[in-house]
A and B are shown apart, each in its own frame.
With several copies, the nearest count.
Chain A
Amino acid sequence: MISLTDQAFDPGTLLSNFCRGRTETGAVASFVGLARAEGGAAAVLELDAYPGFTEAQIAQHVATAQSRFELQDVRIVHRIGAIGPGEPIVFVATAASHRRAAFEACDFLMDYLKSRAPFWKKETGPDGARWIEPRPQDLTDLARWETR
């Protein structure tokens, strides 16, 4: 399941719900991306998305992950709107029989979400607002999946 929300969310509640009642899942990998304060330089993060389109694009990438890794289930929650320092931006959880598939799929989905998913990110700090482009590291991370 893929959700966008403009409300703060608790990653632990999502993880508990995701783990509950699994008798044949050996492994749940999860990732929480948090807004860094960067010592006051990044006061407010704002994320724009295209509701409907954004979830559908992410769903396509989840389908790719499912064909590539032996996954039982995936949960993605992504914040949109204004996000304060220390607040969760994204939660991704993957369930599999064994941990290698769970870890790799979670990593794969995060690389996509952080660099190519349909979001537009604006940081407002002491020097004003700027729209963020993907970091070179994000593109390097993503390229790892193309050689496998």
Chain B
Amino acid sequence: MAKVLLFGALSDLAGWREKTIEVDSIADLRLKLGAEDAALGEALKGPGVQVAVDQAIVRHDTALTAASEVAFLPPMSGG
């Protein structure tokens, strides 16, 4: 279980901003999101998309707990 957040163009593409999904790692989460929505699965692999777990950017696959918040961040444009 993890709370998953999408921002910017990713959220527009998927049609949602926030969802709770039963997963135990980032890799598992990517598989599940891709199976549900192939276009989103591809976009999440796109250049410059970063992943944050509990508001800290993570570089590699990471284990998730029920309390984890996972955010997919497309390239930041500034304000």
**Contact: A116 with B78, CB < 8 Å?**
yes
CA distance A97 to B74 in the complex (A): 27
Residues of B within 8 A of A113 (CB): 78-79
Q: List 30 A-B contacts (CB under 8 A).
A: A47-B79, A48-B7, A50-B5, A50-B7, A50-B55, A50-B71, A50-B73, A52-B55, A53-B55, A53-B71, A78-B79, A90-B79, A113-B78, A114-B78, A116-B76, A116-B78, A117-B78, A117-B79, A118-B73, A118-B76, A119-B76, A119-B79, A120-B7, A120-B9, A131-B8, A132-B77, A133-B75, A133-B77, A134-B78, A138-B78
* B interface bracket (residues with beta carbon within 8 Å of A): 10 to 19
**Contact: B76 with A120, CB < 8 Å?**
yes
Q: Which of A47, A48, A53, A118 contacts B11 (CB 8 A)?
A: A48
A115 at the interface (CB under 8 A from B): yes
Residues of A within 8 A of B63 (CB): none
Q: Which of A33, A53, A112, A120 contacts B77 (CB 8 A)?
A: A120
The 0/1 profile, CB within 8 Å of A marked 1, for residues 26-48 of chain B is: 00000000000000000000000
**Contact: A131 with B9, CB < 8 Å?**
yes
- Contacts A117-B76, A119-B79 known; list 20 others, CB within 8 Å: A47-B79, A49-B7, A50-B5, A50-B71, A50-B73, A52-B55, A53-B71, A79-B79, A90-B79, A113-B78, A117-B78, A119-B76, A119-B78, A120-B9, A120-B74, A120-B76, A120-B77, A121-B78, A121-B79, A131-B9
Residues of A within 8 A of B79 (CB): 33, 47, 78-79, 89-90, 113-114, 117, 119, 121
A56 at the interface (CB under 8 A from B): yes
Most A CB within 10 A of own CB, among B7, B11, B73: B7
Q: In the complex, what's the smallest C-beta–C-beta distance from B5 to chain A, in angstroms?
A: 7
A75 at the interface (CB under 8 A from B): no
Most A CB within 10 A of own CB, among B11, B12, B77, B79: B79
Q: In the complex, what's the smallest C-beta–C-beta distance from A130 to chain B, in angstroms?
A: 9
CA distance A33 to B48 in the complex (A): 26
